[in-house]
Amino acid sequence: MKIMVSACLMGENCRYDGGNNLNDDVLRMLAGNEVVPVCPEQLGGLPTPRVPSEICDGVVMTRDGTDVDREFRAGAAACLNIAMREKPDLVVLQSRSPSCGVNQRYDGTFTGTLVRGSGVTAQLLLQSGFTVIDAEDVQ
C-alpha cells in the first residue's frame, strides 16, 4: 500500500515552531508500506519556524494578522499534484492543523477553540476523492 503522510508525523521538524509531531501509531501503520511524506505549508513556500495560522472566515491568517491564504492554498495544490502523480491508497494527516487537520481545526480566534472541519489541504484532497484520515484516528 502507498500512504501519503504529513511529514511532521514522521518526525520531520517542519512544524510552525520548528518541532514535529512524531506519532508512534502512525509510524507503525507506515511500516512496510510505500510512504510519501509532504508538508503543505513548506510546499507553499512558508518558512520554518513561522507564525502560527488559523482559518478565519475562510481565509488563512497568521496570529499577527498577515494574510497567508495564498501560500496555504499553493501548498494544498502542490500536495494535490503529488497525490495525483503518486496515487496513494491512503492519506494520513496531522490533527487540528489549518492545512492538515481532517476532523477538527481551530476556529480562527486564536483562543484554542476547536470546531468541526478540515484544513485547506485535507479539504482539497477529500474533495478530490482521496481517502484521507486524521492521525488521531490511527490506533
Residue in this structure with the C-alpha cell 513561522, named with its chain if needed = 50
DSSP E strand boundaries for the chain: 2-6, 34-38, 53-56, 59-62, 90-93, 104-106, 114-116, 132-134
- From 3, 4, 7, 91, residue interacting with ligand SF4 (rule: CB under 6 A): 7
**Which of 3, 10, 83, 11 has the alpha carbon at shortest distance from 43?**
83
CB of 56 within 8 A of CB of 96? no
- From 4, 40, 71, 74, residue interacting with ligand SF4 (rule: CB under 6 A): 40
Note whether 100 binds ligand SF4 by CB under 6 A: yes
Instruction: Give me the phi and psi of 91, to 5 degrees please.
Output: -120, 130
Task: Extract the C-alpha cell encoding 121.
Answer: 489541504
Note whether 36 binds ligand SF4 by CB under 6 A: no
Stretch that binds ligand SF4, among 23-31, 33-41, 52-60, 80-88 (CB under 6 A): 33-41
- From 23, 53, 97, 118, residue interacting with ligand SF4 (rule: CB under 6 A): 97
Note whether 76 binds ligand SF4 by CB under 6 A: no
Note whether 15 binds ligand SF4 by CB under 6 A: yes
Report d(CA 5, CA 1) in Å as an integer.
Answer: 13
CB of 111 to ligand SF4, least distance (A): 20
In the complex, which residues of this chain contact ligand SF4 (CB under 6 A)? 6-8, 14-15, 39-41, 94, 97, 99-100
